[in-house]
Amino acid sequence: MRAITMRLGATFGLLMLAIGAQAAQLPDFTGIVSKNAPAVVHVEAKYDGGKSPSMQMQQQGGPDQQQIPEILRRFFGGPMGPQEDPAHTSLGSGFIISSDGYILTNDHVVDDADSVTVRLQDHRTFKAKVVGSDKLYDIALLKVKAHDLPTVSIGDSSKLKPGQWVLAIGSPFGFDYTVTQGIVSAVGRNLGRQDQPYTSFIQTDVPINRGNSGGPLFNLDGQVVGINSQIYSNTGGYMGVSFSIPIDLAMNAVQQLKTKGHVSRGMIGVGIQNVDQDKAKALGLADVRGALVRTVNPGSPGDRAGLKVGDVITDFDGRVVNTASDLPPMVAATAPGTECTLKVIRDGKTRTIKVKLGELKGNGDGPSAGSMGSSSSKLGFSVQSMTDDQRQMLGLKRSEGGVVIDHVDGRNAAEAGLRPGDVVLMVGRKKVSTVSQFDKAIAEYKPGSTVMLLVRDRGGNTAFVTVTAAKPGSE
């Protein structure tokens, strides 16, 4: 019995040593926090009346809920439930990127705010000016009148790998300088959001909640590698899946906002979709990967370069394209005017195509964004004329007419269920076959009136839908 007791004691001792050794390997975040917390700020966006973007998002479920397969929520602060008109304040986070007062946060934290205030850890408070913002990247650049401010160190998000430790500092529910930690769960994550097709997110399990929006995500070197932006949740609270905007993308946007006041994105001018098993078999592909070209916008860079409907893009400028969602962020992050090399499979053979990127105009809307055509701010979407290849792909006869929607940027159109790739056959009782016919038909409607459209959707279903014509500047 004594021998057994001694063996048990030895085993227990070894177990304690193993646990102690493992604990000793866990990172100590205190140095990162003490060094960087002074450069993290609490952001208050005040709205004098009406509904803030956060309240609209809570009530409507986002601009394009049917295009969001996951329950994604941006981390707005402020009241937990929807409120009507009273003035209120929404809370978020941010971080100082230069000692002369430039601060980075999310666009949705300060969007349309009547005033913005930031508070530092030492309790100093400053009125902030929104220097510029970009909705597609969800980035906003603020500026305060101050000097010799503490700053964060900027890291390299392209070097992040799943399993690495990361740390967040922010103001969840208004609790300033809350520190949480976790690991990188995945990189290059596309969320399927129609309003954010050009961002490949960092996925983590770092606990973050309302008020963390715009706050920094640090690596173990104490460098910012991301901006906390969204969560996956069916309750509105943290459920173990969080998403951050890569800092490489954000700093590229910052530089452009500083120098020219807006963000430019590259554009090829094609509509794309995923390759599945059936399409791979039909196209004679060796595997299921790449971006299948379903439309080529007339006169676009892709059209001039010789891209054709049915091509499968497998590589963009040396980077592998595994799925259709991989391509838009790559193209958008490349400066307009850049000559890029595409690897394309056509008729079972791989060929190389050089394309000089154009510039994506406006907010765009998904892989087919940036096409050339008509833009209807009145209805919240733009259209382009259809090519013979497009008609063949969609099974439409020339006699049926129609113009194809190339991007949707208005709430009314999104709520009506309109999507890029849908075909508008009639406006009211008038058949439309060209962009000019569409423009002429739309011009007859006054703001606030209801416009009936006959639409053939991407699934081949034809039905009438109605869209309320917006007042100028209301979308």
Question: How sure is the predictor about 387, in pLDDT bands with cuts at 50, 70 and 90?
Answer: low
Q: Which of 73-77, 168-172, 376-380, 435-439 has the highest mean pLDDT?
A: 168-172
Query: Which DSSP symbol is given to 98?
Result: S
Annotated binding residues, as ranges? 108, 138, 211-213
Percent of the chain at pLDDT > 70 equals 79
27-261 with 374-468: one CATH topology? no
Are the CB atoms for 294 and 421 separated by under 8 Å? yes
- What pLDDT, in 10s, does the model give residues 318-375? 999 998 888 999 999 999 999 999 999 998 899 999 999 999 875 433 333 333 344 4
CATH of domain 266-359: 2.30.42.10
Instruction: Provide the CATH topology of domain 374-468.
Output: Pdz3 Domain (2.30.42)
Are the CB atoms for 444 and 352 separated by under 8 Å? no
Report the pLDDT value the prediction gives residue 303, as an integer from 0 to 100: 92
Report the pLDDT value the prediction gives residue 437, as an integer from 0 to 100: 84
Is 178 strand, coil or helix? strand
- What pLDDT, in 10s, does the model give residues 17-31? 555 555 557 889 999
Q: How many helices (H) and strands (E) does the chain have?
A: 11, 29
| Mean pLDDT over the full length of the chain | 81
- What pLDDT, in 10s, does the model give residues 60-103? 333 333 333 345 555 544 433 344 445 678 889 999 999 999 99
Residue carrying the six token digits 């839908």: 465
Report the pLDDT value the prediction gives residue 304, as an integer from 0 to 100: 94
Question: How sure is the predictor about 36, in pLDDT bands with cuts at 50, 70 and 90?
Answer: very high
Q: Would strands 270-274 and 291-296 be described as parallel, antiparallel, or unpaired? A: antiparallel
pTM: 0.67
Question: How sure is the predictor about 12, in pLDDT bands with cuts at 50, 70 and 90?
Answer: low
Is pLDDT of 471 > 80? no
Q: Where are the domains of the chain?
A: 27-261, 266-359, 374-468
Are the CB atoms for 293 and 270 separated by under 8 Å? yes
Percent of the chain at pLDDT > 90 equals 43
Alpha helices in 66-205, H assignment, sequence order: 107-110
Question: How sure is the predictor about 173, in pLDDT bands with cuts at 50, 70 and 90?
Answer: confident
Question: How sure is the predictor about 15, in pLDDT bands with cuts at 50, 70 and 90?
Answer: low
Give the residue numbers marked as catalytic: 108, 138, 213
- What pLDDT, in 10s, does the model give residues 412-468? 888 888 888 889 998 888 888 887 788 888 888 888 888 888 888 877 788 888 888
- What pLDDT, in 10s, does the model give residues 263-322? 999 999 988 888 888 888 888 888 899 999 888 888 889 999 999 988 999 999 999 999
Taking the C-alpha atoms of residue 313 and residue 302, their distance in angstroms, rounded to an integer, is: 11
| Class of 27-261 in CATH | mainly beta
Report the pLDDT value the prediction gives residue 60, as an integer from 0 to 100: 31
Report the pLDDT value the prediction gives residue 120, as an integer from 0 to 100: 96
Six token digits for residue 341: 């090399």
Taking the C-alpha atoms of residue 408 and residue 283, their distance in angstroms, rounded to an integer, is: 30
Report the pLDDT value the prediction gives residue 18, as an integer from 0 to 100: 57
Identify the helix (H) or strand (E) that includes residue 408.
strand 403-408
Report the pLDDT value the prediction gives residue 234, as an integer from 0 to 100: 66
Taking the C-alpha atoms of residue 50 and residue 263, their distance in angstroms, rounded to an integer, is: 29
Annotated binding residues for substrate, as ranges? 108, 138, 211-213
Report the pLDDT value the prediction gives residue 190, as an integer from 0 to 100: 80
For 475, residues 6+ apart whose C-beta sits below 8 A from its C-beta are 377, 380, 409, 410, 411, 412
Report the pLDDT value the prediction gives residue 122, as an integer from 0 to 100: 93
Taking the C-alpha atoms of residue 105 and residue 116, their distance in angstroms, rounded to an integer, is: 12
CA quadruple 226, 230, 231, 235: dihedral sign: positive
Mean pLDDT of 465-474: 69
Is pLDDT of 399 > 90? no
Q: Which of 135-144, 236-245, 436-445 has the highest mean pLDDT?
A: 135-144
Report the pLDDT value the prediction gives residue 232, as an integer from 0 to 100: 78
Report the pLDDT value the prediction gives residue 144, as an integer from 0 to 100: 96
Question: Half-sphere exposure (CA, 13 Å, Cβ side) for 185?
Answer: 14
Is pLDDT of 106 > 80? yes
